[in-house]
Chains A and B, each alone.
Chain A
Amino acid sequence: MTAHAEAPAIPTATTPQRTAAGRVRKRLTSRWASAASLIIALLWTVPTFGLFISSIRPEDEIKSNGWWNFFAKPQFTLDNYQEVLFGTSSSSGRLAGFFINSLVITIPSVLFPLAFCALAAYALAWTKFRGRDWVYIGIFALQIVPLQMALVPLLQFFSSTFDLEGTASFAQVWFAHTAFAIPLGTFLLHNFMAELPGDVIEAARVDGAGHARIFRQVVLPLIVPALASFGIFQFLWVWNDLLVALVFSSGSDVRPLTVRLAELAGTRGNEWQRLTSGAFVSIVIPLIVFLSLQRFFVRGLLAGSVKG
């Protein structure tokens, strides 16, 4: 098997040289290209690095000169982090608490769409019913509706029907994020699922498995890469979201990190040194999520996009 699989691979590795695209590809994988991309990557990181250096400098230094002066005259402090994480003023921080709010908002807002989209995608890909294609096209088309258009009607719906207050308004935020995620999620997962070999599903059905069992034991394990990549997308989107949180979360018990970050600088922006450490606090979780799931991400990114 392996010998057969590798044998035809040899010509494909050499043929690209002849075509234009092949030449480009060859150049892009050369040593110089790697060096260039390394340099670009370094340059790209410089602002983040500068921000990091700033976050450990004292306030007066941040405000009076650039971060590179840190190397000439190193002054180190954790005051910015202390202030941002544990400050007691109503805006100066308490990011620690808002961090939890962000998690409470983000985790269900990722899991709900994953569950709904996977179920919907399965139904649209592997069950037959009248108008199935129209439903699919309808969901697909909903992607072009900008979320900003739905904000006010959705808020009206919530405040006149449920009138949630305090921590109950988490439900509002979850609902909003879930609803806004469904079109893209269903589309991505449907395309991935439709690519699964029909024989596998057919075999399971012959063995007497119903839809529930096929979905759980055959389909779900096969679409893990797609689930993971959509999960990362959705996670980063929800974690970084400011707009939906501003509109649907009511009261500071429900506000996520992003809302607090936006207020950290003070009424007239004179406390902007706090943004340096605030930014680093807020990217910790997305970094962990991305790094731990990135092997799925690259695989899943192509999911559903390339046929054959």
Chain B
Amino acid sequence: MASHTRQRLVALVGAAGLALTVAACGGNNTGAKDNLDKPECTAFKDYAGHAGKKVTIYASIRDKEADLLQESWKQFADCTGIKVEYEGSGEFETQLNVKVNGNNAPDVAFVPQPGLIDTFVKGNKLKPVSDKTKSLATQNYSADWLRYATFNGNLYGAPLGSNVKSFVWYSPKMFQEKGYKVPETWDQLIALSNTIAGTGIKPWCAGIESGVATGWPATDWIEDVLLRDQGPDVYDQWVAHSIPFNDPKIASATDRVGSILKNPNFVNGGIGDVKSIATTAFQDGGLPIVQGKCAFHRQASFYANQWPDSAKVAADGDVFAFYFPPVDPSKGKPVLGAGEFVVAFNDRPEVQAVQTYLASAHHANSRAKLGNWVSANKQLDLNNVASPIDKESVKILQDPKTVFRFDGSDLMPSGVGAGSFWKGMTDWITGKDTKSTLDSIEASWPK
């Protein structure tokens, strides 16, 4: 008897499970409506006709920044009736591959590596942007930016957020007390470093430890200095591997980095000797500046989040950043940076509408007003950018003299850009010489 009831119970549970699955599959788009006739929605008139549709977005941005991002398109979603489902993941790069290969691709992804876009384009997975998005993107972004998402003449996505890497963090307070001036050329920078070294403190501090990605801050150093030492053309050739990794020009730039990072008189302020760079977490690399034990720390604009809450980040505060000076100012203003591109795996009209909106000036300003944001969008109003460092970044990006180049390690094959280049630079910091370091990275370049 007891066994019969148990059998029935098992059958019931099974049936309930099935019913649940079926119920969850049914039922969507019932009575969805947009709000475009409301007065606050006039800006979105062009995006009519997608009410009730769903667009999924997948990206690596998470935490507070993800909250702000979702808030930035909330009005768009409310007005048009498009349901935007955002998901951020720390395993973005690998998971995106799995999802795409498993026919489970998101509608839209924010991809920070142009190399990855290239892979997906070659695999025929991505859809080119609509004409509307393309014309908006060409209007709002410089050709320097768009070329990283253009393949075979097709644009696959407009940039979204950006960061500027050509920054040197310093303490305005210390500079004022000691009467130092912000250097505007490489020679002034070195001269000031020598002056500071003469006062007994080591002027530079750095940290390149970052778990499995240890070494990446040093690759940014090389890229930034290469742009200054050899210019953007050599940089492009180097990234595309039309000159070898161990070319004398690259060696010259590497040695120029070495004149700071491997100079025992210059590093590692407040932390230790040259080798301590390799074991210091990149998050902690610049912190001695606040304690007055170090003067310079070259790191991207996003380092602003790493300072303790008590330190004021402003031109007249405890810490701020100046533009990493060029070797020859007459040759323009090279800027190293990175950012993500809004690419789509689907060309449904509502997906294209989201892509178009994210390329628009409206979104760039709506996101900037929420704070903690930099975009290369030319229509971004500086008044909407609150934090001083973000303002500085936007100014640099919008400066017509700026020659922008994307972070090279994101453009190289991942075995090099996210592998041997990182490792090579770590070895180089811990004592390996320039020639054998570059030789070994060159040897690792996929044939």
Contacts and interface: CB of A to CB of B under 8 A. Distances in A.
Interface string A257-280: 001001101111111000000000
B102 interface: yes
A90 B88 contact: yes
**Interface of chain A, main secondary structure:** helix
A119 to B, nearest CB: 12
A160 B103 contact: yes
Given A90-B63, A266-B64, A167 B102 contact: no
Contact of B305 (A89, A265, A270): A270
A246 B91 contact: yes
Contact of B88 (A159, A263, A265): A263
Which of B63, B85, B87, B98 is most buried by chain A, counting CB atoms within 10 A of its CB? B63
Interface in A175-230: 213, 216-217
Interface residues of B, number: 34
B102 A159 contact: yes
A60 B95 CA distance: 33
B60 interface: yes
A164 B64 CA distance: 29
B35 interface: no
Which of A155, A167, A267 is most buried by chain B, counting CB atoms within 10 A of its CB? A267
Interface in B47-86: 60-67, 70, 85
A230 to B, nearest CB: 19
A255 to B, nearest CB: 9
A159 B63 CA distance: 28
Contact of A268 (B25, B87, B305): B305
Which of A160, A168, A265, A271 is most buried by chain B, counting CB atoms within 10 A of its CB? A168
Contact of B64 (A89, A108, A162): A89
Interface residues of A, number: 39
B100 to A, nearest CB: 10
A263 B99 CA distance: 18
B330 interface: no
Contacts of B302: 268
B63 A92 contact: yes
B393 to A, nearest CB: 16
B416 to A, nearest CB: 23
A4 to B, nearest CB: 38
A267 B101 contact: no
Nearest to B60: A267
A108 B63 CA distance: 30
Nearest to A167: B24
A90 B90 CA distance: 14
A72 to B, nearest CB: 21
Interface string B295-310: 0000000100110110
11 contacts: A60-B309, A89-B64, A151-B102, A152-B102, A155-B104, A159-B103, A168-B21, A217-B3, A252-B87, A262-B89, A266-B62
Given A155-B99, A168-B21, 17 more contacts: A60-B309, A89-B63, A90-B88, A91-B62, A91-B67, A92-B64, A108-B17, A152-B98, A156-B102, A156-B104, A250-B104, A262-B91, A263-B62, A263-B88, A266-B63, A266-B64, A267-B63
